[in-house]
Structure formats: structure tokens, C-alpha cells
A and B are shown apart, each in its own frame.
Chain A
């Protein structure tokens, strides 16, 4: 696959992607730009928007452990992130602690462990900085290969289990009554979140990963009426944010990870203003949440 990626990376693309390093960045960025929002659609609906952030902090500790042990940090980050994600889901499902408390535990524990472990690594912890803020422009073909493989795994898992996950996020209790394996589904979502976080570390950095899981989804929810449309729109906005963010970073010599997230935030700002006005117009005609006893048919008023 490295040969294929290297061959693709010398495609005659126009500015700003005419250079090889920009093409590698584009390939990795598009995979993450598409996959992160696809997972984010389910997380946002589960009220777990910050799950990616919590797991990102854990992955940070995993990266530090990899640097200390002189193992490729992707694998140590993956191990710590997957185990941590399953632990968060276990705590949440047992009701041992509320979701935000469980996440806070990992937020602070993960980042503190990362800082301490990195300080023991050979270069005083400098090598960990690219994982904090991303370093998509220094990505090489082997990084892209791993990111593409992880992206394929994420999309294959969603193709297979997405319908069960949808039934769970709509109504967990009814899904459980019907015999859908809710515990396994939630654990799968946690693992997929961990995989996405690890795949995205080099693209936007652990501090900004959750933004790519949430901002395009927030926009997609404003723009779409269906779940399928929300997924497609979110993935499209994620990919477009990567494209424009990389172009802006090249043009004005900006940090690419931050630029990608700022584009996603700007798209959300504009669409929520426009979409908010549209939604407000709809609500003035048809309140979505009428008080009990105030129901009536409104076939003729909806838009």
C-alpha cells in the first residue's frame, strides 16, 4: 500500500496540493475529515460530545508511554485509548458515575500521566508536541497507510453495525427490549471513538480531535432532516474543512490543525445563523414541543 500511496502522492494536483507533502497531508486529512464526523454523529446524539476529548487525553498518555518505551507511539496510544474508552463506557453503563465525571477523570488523569511520562523520555518530552497540536505537514507514507487502514476499519464497522447503533441512540431502552445488544453496541462505539482519535492525532492533535467529531456534526444537524443526510453532510463538511484548512495553512503559513478546526467552526457559525433563522421561522408556524393537551394535526403548516 505504501507504493500506491507514494504513487498517489505525486499526482499532478493544482496548488496548494502540488507538492508531495501536501498530497500526503490531504490524503490523511480527508480520511479523518470524513471518519471523525461519522462517529461524532452517534456521540452527539448520545450526549457524549466530549468523549473524543477525554479519549484524546488518554491517547496522549499512550503516546508518552510509546516515546519512553521507544515503541511506535501509535500502537501504545491505541492500546491506552481503547482500554480507556471501554473503561469509560463501563463506568457509564453501570451508573457508577455520571458521564461528565467519568470523562473528567480521564481528562485530567490522562493529561497528567502524559506530561509525567513524557518528562522521563529521552528528549525531555519535545517529541510529544506534534501529537498535542498535530503535524499533518510532516506526515509520511507509513503514517498515511495506517490512517487509511484505520479509516477503512471505521467505515466497515459503521456499514455493518450502524443500523443497530442508530436504533440504540434513538431509544436505548426499546432497543434493549427488542434484543439488540446495547452493551456491545455502546462498547463498539467507544472503541471506534478511540480508533478515530488515534488516527486523527497526527492530523489535528489530541487537543483538537473532538472538534472534528463535533463541529461538522453540529452543522450537519442544522442542515439535514434525516439521519442519513446528517451523516453525509457532516462527513462532507469535515472533508471540506480539511481541504480549506490545508489551503489556508499553505497560503498564510498557519498551523494546519488549528486552521482545519477554525474552518469547521466558521462553517458551523454561518450555517447556524442561517439555519437558526430558518428553524425559528418553522417554529413560529409549528412548535415542536407543544404542551400536553395542545396537540393538533398540522399537515398543512409544515415546511
Chain B
């Protein structure tokens, strides 16, 4: 039996003004699936993510998150989101612990004080991204890779059924990439969560992906990585091929 779709776009189109950014996209991500969404700069990847998360409304087509329209979903905390680090203001005077704990606010009930279950979840998430030792540090004083891991821990801490990540490893060191990969694989394998990852750099997770979706306004390829590899594009050893190949794509 096919596992239920946790994220689905059906014939979704979206334009900024007169400029079409996403055209008739069909995409599903099932529970326990690890999917990468790739495409050249400006191909509509981040816009598609924002449509799937309900932050934008499609001009045409429909979106479903955990079986409901984004606006009708009750337990929204079951959707984890890691935005691009550069759009965040990590100048906030807050510790790693405080930022990660804030990821539990919606699940706990935003008027409630953190309890034992919240503290344990924070401990677990910080250990998953190897930041337990830095939990009392101000986030603004961490390196870029460490800040990225803070954001991933903040998303993991609510134990989401689906995790959506937008360019999470751009400019991140190899050790952070390895920890990042381990935490995502743990989430998929042990919690049956689905992961949708937008990235140009898939080397770290190349061997763990179930599917790769290539888009440039439209979906140009949707299949297992081995099938993509048969076209001569490698995600692992020759990961550097990917960005060059994507730039040559025609919609």
C-alpha cells in the first residue's frame, strides 16, 4: 500500500505580477520519504516551498499538507520548516537553548510554560545536531554552520511529521553537513517523517535520497537518484556537476 502523501501540489501555478514562477506543478511527498528539490537559481523552488507551506496561495491548482489545505490544518506544528539562514535575523539576543525551545511553542500551546517533555525534546534535538555543549551561547556568536544547526534543531524539536528545508547547507562546513545528514536520516528512519529538501549541494545526502525532483518553473524530472545518474549527472562523488547541469536546463 502506498503511504499517504504528507505534502501534495496538484497542478499548481503561481506568478509574481506577470512573471510566471511556478507552472502546473504536480508533486507529492509521502510519509517516510526523503526528497530533494533541485533547480537553477530563480527556478521557483523556494516559491513552491512557500506555496506548499501555505505562506503563498496558488493562482491555480491546489495544495495539501497532511491531507488538508494549509489554511485548514489544525496541528500545524507537525510541519517543520528551516528557512534560508540569510533571511533570518540571528542578531537576536538569545541563547541556542532559547531559540531551540521556541520551536516547541506551537506544539505545547503558545500560552503554556515549557514542561519536562519540552526540555527533554530540546535536549534530544540539541544532541541530534551536536550543539548540546553550546546551548548557553548566544546564537549571534556562533559560526554559520552552527547557526544552521540551531535552526534545524528548532525545527526538529517539535518532532514534525514533515520537515521542509530551504537551502539548509549553503556555505556550511563539512562537519556540519555530516551532522545535518545524520539528523535528517534519523528523522526519516526512526520517526517515519517526510523530508523535502531544497538544495544545490546534495553530496552529503546523495546516498540517502528516495527521490530527486528537478524543476525550472515546471517539474522536469521526478524519480530516484539512480535514474538521474543514468543521464550522466551525479549527486555524490561528482556533486559539483549538479549546479552546472542545472543551469543548462530548459523548461
Contact = CB atoms under 8 A, between A and B. Distances in A.
Nearest to A169: B92
8 contacts: A166-B102, A174-B81, A175-B106, A225-B138, A282-B141, A289-B144, A295-B144, A297-B173
Which 8 pairs from chain A and chain B are nearest by CB?
A292-B171, A179-B76, A164-B110, A178-B106, A295-B173, A295-B145, A227-B94, A167-B102
Interface in B68-83: 73, 75-77, 79, 81-83
B170 interface: yes
Interface residues on B, range: 35 or more
Contact of A178 (B95, B145, B158): B158
Interface of B: 53-55, 73, 75-77, 79, 81-83, 87-89, 92-95, 98-99, 102-103, 105-107, 110-111, 113-114, 133-134, 136-138, 140-146, 154-155, 158, 170-173, 175-176
Contacts of B89: 45
Contact of B110 (A163, A220, A295, A302): A163
A45 B92 CA distance: 7
Given A163-B110, A171-B88, A178-B77, A297 B175 contact: yes
B173 A296 contact: yes
A293 interface: yes
Contact of A171 (B53, B83, B158): B83
Contact of B111 (A164, A176, A178, A293): A164
A169 to B, nearest CB: 7
Contact of B81 (A178, A228, A286): A178
A18 interface: no
Contact of A170 (B75, B76, B102, B134): B102
B105 A178 contact: yes
Contacts of B111: 160-161, 163-164
B154 A295 contact: no
Interface in A269-303: 282, 286, 288-299, 302
B178 to A, nearest CB: 12
Which of B79, B106, B137, B140 neighbours the largest number of chain A CB atoms within 10 Å of its CB? B106
A177 interface: yes
A230 B201 CA distance: 37
A180 interface: yes
A224 interface: yes
A228 B97 CA distance: 11
A167 B38 CA distance: 29
Given A161-B110, A227-B92, A292 B141 contact: no
A290 B144 contact: yes
A181 B76 CA distance: 11
A221 B82 CA distance: 26
Interface string A17-55: 000000000000000000000000000010000000000
Which of A171, A178, A290, A294 neighbours the largest number of chain B CB atoms within 10 Å of its CB? A178
A251 interface: no
A78 to B, nearest CB: 25
A173 interface: yes
Contacts of A167: 102-103, 105-106, 110
A177 B53 CA distance: 6
B75 to A, nearest CB: 7
A45 B154 CA distance: 19
A226 to B, nearest CB: 5
Interface string A159-200: 011011011011101111111110000000000000000000
A14 to B, nearest CB: 35
A236 to B, nearest CB: 15
Which of A164, A288, A291, A299 neighbours the largest number of chain B CB atoms within 10 Å of its CB? A288
B137 A170 contact: no
A292 B170 contact: yes
A292 B144 contact: yes
